[in-house]
Amino acid sequence: MEPHEPDLSAVPVTAVLAALADDVRLQIVRALAEGGERACGTFDFGVSKATRSHHLKVLREAGLTRTRAAGTSRLVRLRHDELNKLYPGLLDAVLAPRPPA
Amino acid sequence: MEPHEPDLSAVPVTAVLAALADDVRLQIVRALAEGGERACGTFDFGVSKATRSHHLKVLREAGLTRTRAAGTSRLVRLRHDELNKLYPGLLDAVLAPRPPA
DNA sequence: ACCCTTGTTCGACAACTGTCGAACAAGCTC
DNA sequence: GAGCTTGTTCGACAGTTGTCGAACAAGGGT
């Protein structure tokens, strides 16, 4: 079964925002933004692997990430360019570590 | 009782995103972005006034809007400048009617 | 003073969401 | 093939959220 990665333009804006509106998922996105491509297992944010898998699914189905199999692992990467094209500024705004006052 | 309008910088990013991740609220924000200041009652998106009041509260407590009393009405406006300063690009990205491919 | 208009607040209820452990699937290595 | 590693899927459960009608509060107008 292929991992259902929709066209970003086909995903409602609210779904994209909802996907980003969670602490764990935001940490994943931030890690991906810096790290490039990473295996699912390299994320450890204090949740079970079931939960982690769930969050990665939400991100994938919101059109934010792409996943490809590599052995027993799955490599995840951020759809950086598409995101910036369709929602310019969104990623930067969200990724900002904490804008100094 | 004053309507509890937090410092935008004190609101977690996820809360800001969550506030925007709803269709009704997004419509409200879009209307505010164009219309400037509007009374609560001038929004009609097919929800009861209880629900509308709820959504306006969520937006207010996420630091996205300001509200001031004016007679029996309450005027709501978007905190446009603060938003753009703290999350540059966010509003534009979200407000875009539908970015042409 | 009375009433109408405008909003908010209060349950209540259904739907969704985040979380987990356990079971399952698929691939590698020995 | 046996066993290990890596992920996904399946209930289940608690907490949150969107929705409503009804009750309440505060102003304004007559």
Condensed to tens digits (0 to 9), the pLDDT of residues B37-74 reads 999 999 989 999 999 999 999 999 999 999 999 999 99
Q: Where do we find the tokens 């692992």? A: A73
Does the beta-carbon distance from A90 to B86 stay under 8 Å? no
DSSP 8-state secondary structure symbol assigned to residue A69: E
Q: Shortest Cα distance from A82 to chain B (angstroms)?
A: 10
Domains with residue ranges and CATH for chain A: 8-95 (1.10.10.10)
Instruction: List, as ranges, residues 42-71 from B with C-beta within 8 Å of A.
Output: none
Confidence of residue A4 (pLDDT cuts 50, 70, 90): confident
CA distance A14 to B20: 7
The integer distance in angstroms from the CA atom of A56 to the C1' atom of D11 is 20
Condensed to tens digits (0 to 9), the pLDDT of residues A18-77 reads 999 999 999 999 999 998 999 999 998 999 999 999 999 999 999 999 999 999 999 999
Contacts of residue A61, Cβ cutoff 8 Å, sequence gap at least 6: A4, A5, A6
- In degrees, rounded to 5, the angle at the alpha carbon of residue A26 between the alpha carbons of residues A25 and A32 is 90
Q: How many residues does chain A have?
A: 101
Does the beta-carbon distance from A87 to B101 stay under 8 Å? no
Residue at the smallest CA–C1' distance to nucleotide C23: A50
